[in-house]
Structures are given as C-alpha cells and as structure tokens.
Amino acid sequence: MDIWSLAFDNLLSIPVLCFVLGFVATRVKSDLQFPDSVMKFLTFYLLLAIGIKGGVSLQQSEFTEVAWPVIATIFLGIVLPICAFAALRFLTRLDRQDRGAIAAHYGSTSLVTFTAALVFLETADIFVEGYVVTLLAVMEVPGIIVGLMLAGSHSRKPRELSASAREVLTSPSIVLLVGGVVIGWAAGPERFKSAEPFFADIFIGMLSLFLLQMGVTVAKRISSFASAGPGLVLFAVLFPLVAGSIGVFAGLAVGLGAGGACMLGVLCASASYIAAPAAVRLALPRANEGLAITCSLAITFPINMVVGIPYMVFLARTLVA
C-alpha cells in the first residue's frame, strides 16, 4: 500500500472525519461546542484507558525487550528539543525564551496524535508492541525540561524551573498515564477482561468525540496563522516530519517492529498542547505562549492527523520490507 492509499484510509477513518466535522462546523459559524467538563472527562478516559491497556501488555513483555526502546526514547526526548531550538534560531527571529518555549512543546508529546495513530494501526491490522504506551509516558517530561533549560530559565529562575518540573510530573496526564500502566501491569490480562467493555470496546467512540471538539478548537485558532510568520509556519510543517523520520529509524534500530517504530516516530513528530503550556506558563512567563500553541495545535496537529501518521506508517513498512 502506497503513502497516498494510507493517507486516504486515514482521512476516511471515523475519528479523523469527526475532527473534520468539528473544524467545518466552526468555520461555518455553528455553535458546536462541548462543555469543559465533558472534555476533561474524555481526556481522563483516554489517558487511563491507554495506560491500562499498555500496562497489561507490559506485564507480558520481557525487561530486555523494553529497555532499549525506553533508553532510545529518553535520548530522543533530550535531543529533539535541542534540534528544534537550533532550527528555530535559523528560521525565525524569535528571542531565546520564545524559542525555548516552542522547543519544550515539540520535545514533549501529543496524547491525541498518539492515540489516533494507535487506532489507525490497529484498524489496519499492523502489530504494535503494547509497551509503546510506556514510551509515551517516558517522552512527556524530558523534552519540556530541556526546552525550559534552553530558554535560560535554569540560570535565572531555578524556583520557576523546579515548580515547572513538579507541574509536569504531577499533571493529570502523567498521573493517569503512569497510574494506568501500573494498574494494567498489576491486574494482568485475565483481570482486565471484566473492564474491557469500557476501556477497550468503546475507545474509538470516545476518541471520535474528543477529536470532534479538537476540530472546533483548531478552527478557532486557524486565524492566528498570520502572527506565526512564514519561518515559524515552515518549522511547524517540516520539523515534525523530520523528527518523526528520526524516530522511525531509531525505533527500528532498537528492535521495534514496523508498528512500534511508527509509533515512536509519531511521538517524535507530535507536539504537546496540554502539559507543555502549563509548564511554560510557570517557568517562562514572558514567553509568547500563543505562538507555541498556534504551532503545535493549529499547524502541526492537523498535519500529523492527515499526512504525518500515514507517512510514518509508510516509512516504517518500507524500511522493514
């Protein structure tokens, strides 16, 4: 299957079509909008469900099988924000704090992009190592911390950096994801069966509802393209594809199959719009938070949903073949 067929299949998946519906509805001035409480519930559900399912799979994996992918993920979580920071210096005239803030967003991960890729691979019957959820949790933190350090916050505001690290480590995304992995690992596959109807059978439906609202959110931010500037837009389009390619190569190098390598590529290509903004707000109060959110949510996220995920799948399968 070529990349265009993969992209077409991804575009016609229910979750992505729901994203498109939310986007179109907002652009035609519909008042479609979920309450914040509903979005919080959907976010918590996705985090816990992914964590539990990953924990169940982790219990069935050997330590040596997981160790190298985890080490590679930590390494990428440190290196990629440094690369993003350098690329932003070349492409834009942003100051150090703004570059560091954006690098923190691109060094971290997007739960929804990861989840959409996971669903796409499962639908396409491509095997994915269950413990890749562990890689999502592992990559969330280092990229944010490195981005903040690159911004210079470590030398001028150690308290803010410490508070920011604490904010990331105790955020609902980390607590629920890591907690879910522990629960799934402790329960195992047999005990998981009783909860499977809620945490597995309706998962795609819950993701579709979440992406419906994400389409609304992206449509509302699309008008802020102008404030980003051409260099920043170019970065938000190209850097994820380059970083994702590196992730795919790294995944295959440490023994992941095509599906697992694709997921590591998706992690590298994605950008945070939940954990990173909260951390940046604490450590870099003078940084222009709107630029980072515009890049990660209004540019990179939809590109990954439509083009990035099929590209990672195509690259991983081509390299394996």
Q: Is the pLDDT of residue 228 over 70?
A: no
**Mean per-residue pLDDT, 4-17:** 84
Q: Tell me the whole-structure pTM to 2 decimals.
A: 0.87
Residue 79, pLDDT score = 97
As a whole-number percent, the residues of the chain with pLDDT over 70 amount to 93
pLDDT at 283 over 90: no
Q: What mean pLDDT comes out for the span 114-126?
A: 91
Confidence of residue 218 (pLDDT cuts 50, 70, 90): confident
253 has pLDDT over 70: yes
Question: What does the alpha-carbon distance between residue 274 and residue 288 come to, in Å, rounded to a whole number?
Answer: 16
Give the pLDDT confidence score for residue 202 in this predicted structure.
Answer: 94
Q: Is the pLDDT of residue 158 over 80?
A: no
- Using alpha carbons, list the distances in angstroms from residue 98 to 101, 155, 256, 288: 5, 16, 35, 6
Predicted local distance difference test score (pLDDT) of residue 225: 64
Domains annotated on the chain, with CATH: 1-22+40-180+193-318 (1.20.1530.20)
Lowest model confidence (mean pLDDT) among 2-11, 37-46, 187-196, 249-258: 2-11
Q: Are 271 and 299 in contact (CB under 8 A)?
A: no
User: Which amino acid, 283?
Assistant: A
How far, in Å, are 90, 196, 208, 234 from residue 256 at the CA level?
33, 26, 28, 30
Residue 168 in tokens: 């990331």
- H/E stretch holding 296 reads none
Residue 5: pLDDT band (50, 70, 90) is confident
Computed over every residue of the chain, the mean pLDDT equals: 88
Q: How confident is the model at residue 269 (pLDDT cuts 50, 70, 90)?
A: very high
How many of the other CB atoms lie within 10 Å of CB of 269? 30
Q: pLDDT class for 264, splitting at 50, 70, 90?
A: very high
Q: What band does 164 get if pLDDT is binned at 50, 70 and 90? A: low
Are the CB atoms for 170 and 279 separated by under 8 Å?
A: no
Mean pLDDT in residue range 290-309: 90
pLDDT tens, position by position, 60-85: 888 888 999 999 999 999 999 999 99
